[in-house]
Amino acid sequence: MLLVHIRPQKWKLVGGGVLGFAGGLAGLAEPLVARSVIDAFGSGASLTGPIVTLAVLVLLGATISAAGSYVLERTAETIVLSARLSLVGRMLRLRVPDVDRLKPGDLISRVTADTTLLRAVCTSGLANAVSAVFILIGCVVLMGVMDAVLLAVTVGVLAVVGALLLFVMPRIGRATTQAQEALGEMGAALDRSLQAFRTVKASGAEQRETDAVRGAAHRAWRRGVTVAAWGSIAGTATWVGVQLSFLAVLGVGGVRVADGTLEISSLIAFLLYLFYLTGPIATLVEGATQLQTGLAAVTRLREIEDLDAEQVAGEPVRGDATPAGIVLDDIRFDYGGGRVPALDGVSFEVPAGGMTALVGPSGAGKSTVFALLERFYEPASGSIRLDGRELSELTLPELRGAFGYVEQDAPVLAGSLRENLTFGAPGATDDEIADVLARTRLADLVERLPEGLETPVGHRGQMLSGGERQRVAIARALLRRPRLLLLDEATSQLDAVNELRLRDVINEVAGTTTVLVIAHRLSTVTSAERIVVLEAGRVRAVGTHADLVLNDDLYRELATTQLVAGGKALAPR
């Protein structure tokens, strides 16, 4: 996955690495020039030339290295952007069952925290590390040319350090994976509290929720400390290795200078190279650490990339509102996990045009029918046909473009009222918006709002009442000119007056399109041409309100408890 995002930027990474390498080469020449300064000082020659050369090398190396660092950092940010855009595009096309299983806070953590880790991989983990390898090779070669004995001493000490690092690096990778998972858990815990913020306050549960988030934060902290501990071991081992090498070279080199087999200027230059070696070695260790960290992040990102995504080729197309007919034939479906089937052999027909209602106790399978119609889920067996065509034969934009869907909780998104109304129909005209506002009794609301349609409605529409949010959701669905309008408890949050008005709207819409409505409040659907009674995932009865009151005990009980209590007379038996 990482290579997919790196490949388009490979030449920029190469360019940044080359600049860094060039800056390193300037640094490699510095000890040789320093040796010439010492030799000139000992022979009494002029020091101006060597010192000027040394100063130029220092400035040139620093400038080139800075340019290389900028190129790499900028490219790394581009790679992170690419990964984030790809991941967000993937997430919003995931199948509903996968999103139901995952936690929103953890998904957000993968987009934000995990992708950020890729930045270090692209700089310290790849380009800088490759540059450091070449500089390290060049440094070792020059050290070998100066004195093979001292080089052997240096390599012997650093080999021990390298063996230790091979032991440490895999543990850094595992610890990082656990730390990122803990960070995702913390995000999920916080998201849970914020999504039910008012419920938390009303329940006096602030401290309990705070403790839950704190527990997740402490787990993330402990795992982060583990990463830091292993990282410190790697860094300290590198530093100790270089220091031990310096002491060993100083001891062996001092003896060789004393017996005349090595010049003092060569020993000083060798020690300078040894100090210079610290940079590439530290870069390699950091690169290996960042690579382990990045691989942990890539593993979490790949988990999302490996999930099945819906094949959506574009935005749903607004139709011509020609009424659509639906037929469900022997549908079976369950949500897994050993639960009883949500639908067990359900068959019924929704004729084109008019209103069909689904009623029944909670858990009867009514909302599951809507989820299958929108293909959020696929039935285990059976057939669903839209105007005689299997739903699986339709593209998702074609299928969903035919539907207007009002969910049970009528979600309203942060943004302006206009943005919410046109969310499913971005091309809707002002006249169409005005018409649907009038039909859903929202025109008065728009007049009261300080900025009219451009007024922000707040997070989750908190600036609107429950009934207003429900009417906004219905207006949004109507703007799509649906061939089939799906209403899931569309009037559950409305007062009696607005319910009556909206019932008139639904009856009006049913005259020009197909309406399939789920209702616990039977007063909404008594005028429906067909009512399907569901119980325990099966069709119990089908008929009109009057027929069902006479012939079905469950429907009669529902009607008795609601309509009589509400002051509405039942049909005569």
pLDDT tens digits for range 463-504: 887 778 888 888 888 888 888 999 887 766 666 777 777 777
Asked if 498 contacts 459 with a C-beta cutoff of 8 angstroms, the reply is no
- Which tokens is 210 given? 């705070």
Using CA atoms, how far apart are residues 481 and 201, in angstroms rounded to an integer?
40
Residues 6 or more apart whose CB falls under 8 angstroms from that of 97 comprise 376, 377
Specify the pLDDT at position 331.
93
Is residue 114 very low, low, confident or very high in pLDDT (cuts 50, 70, 90)?
Answer: confident
Asked if 531 contacts 543 with a C-beta cutoff of 8 angstroms, the reply is yes
Instruction: Say which range, 264-268, 327-331, 374-378, 543-547, has the weakest mean pLDDT.
Output: 264-268
Residues 6 or more apart whose CB falls under 8 angstroms from that of 66 comprise 23
pLDDT of 423 over the 70 cut: yes
**Helix pair 148-195, 128-146: axis angle to 10 deg:** 160
Instruction: Say which range, 284-288, 338-342, 508-512, has the weakest mean pLDDT.
Output: 284-288
pLDDT of 93 over the 50 cut: yes
pLDDT of 175 over the 70 cut: yes
Pick 401 or 135 by higher pLDDT: 401
Specify the pLDDT at position 563.
54
Specify the pLDDT at position 493.
64
Rounded (10°) CA dihedral 442, 444, 449, 450: 140
Specify the pLDDT at position 32.
64
Is residue 88 very low, low, confident or very high in pLDDT (cuts 50, 70, 90)?
Answer: confident
Residues 6 or more apart whose CB falls under 8 angstroms from that of 564 comprise 570
Q: Would the CATH topology of 2-305 be identical to that of 326-412+484-564?
A: no
- Which tokens is 224 given? 């982060």
Specify the pLDDT at position 572.
45
| Kind of pairing between the strands at 538-543 and 389-390 | unpaired
Region 369-380: mean pLDDT is 91
- Amino acid making up residue 222: R
Beta bridge partners of 515: 355, 485
Domain 2-305 falls in which CATH fold?
Answer: ABC transporter transmembrane region fold (1.20.1560)
Question: What are the residue boundaries of the structural domains of the chain, listed by start?
Answer: 2-305, 326-412+484-564
Asked if 6 contacts 79 with a C-beta cutoff of 8 angstroms, the reply is yes
Is residue 122 very low, low, confident or very high in pLDDT (cuts 50, 70, 90)?
Answer: low
Is residue 148 very low, low, confident or very high in pLDDT (cuts 50, 70, 90)?
Answer: confident
Q: What SS3 class is residue 373?
A: helix
- Amino acid making up residue 232: S
Is residue 567 very low, low, confident or very high in pLDDT (cuts 50, 70, 90)?
Answer: very low
- Tally the C-alpha atoms within 13 A of residue 95's C-alpha that lie toward its C-beta: 13
Mean pLDDT, all residues of the chain: 79
Pick 295 or 565 by higher pLDDT: 295
Asked if 314 contacts 305 with a C-beta cutoff of 8 angstroms, the reply is no
pLDDT of 317 over the 60 cut: no
Pick 183 or 564 by higher pLDDT: 183
DSSP state of 563: I
Per-residue pLDDT tens for 51-87? Answer: 777 777 778 877 887 887 788 778 878 888 888 888 8
Specify the pLDDT at position 200.
75
| Kind of pairing between the strands at 484-488 and 381-386 | unpaired
The dotted CATH code for 326-412+484-564 is 3.40.50.300
- What are the CB-based long-range contacts (under 8 Å, 24+) for 266-271? 266/35, 266/146, 266/147, 267/150, 268/34, 268/35, 268/38, 269/31, 269/32, 269/34, 269/35, 269/146, 270/31, 270/143, 270/146, 270/147, 270/150, 271/246
Instruction: Say which range, 55-69, 82-96, 117-131, has the weakest mean pLDDT.
Output: 117-131
Specify the pLDDT at position 566.
46
- Amino acid making up residue 250: L
Specify the pLDDT at position 1.
57
Instruction: Provide the total of helices (H) and of strands (E) in the chain, helices listed first.
Output: 20, 10
Is residue 350 very low, low, confident or very high in pLDDT (cuts 50, 70, 90)?
Answer: very high
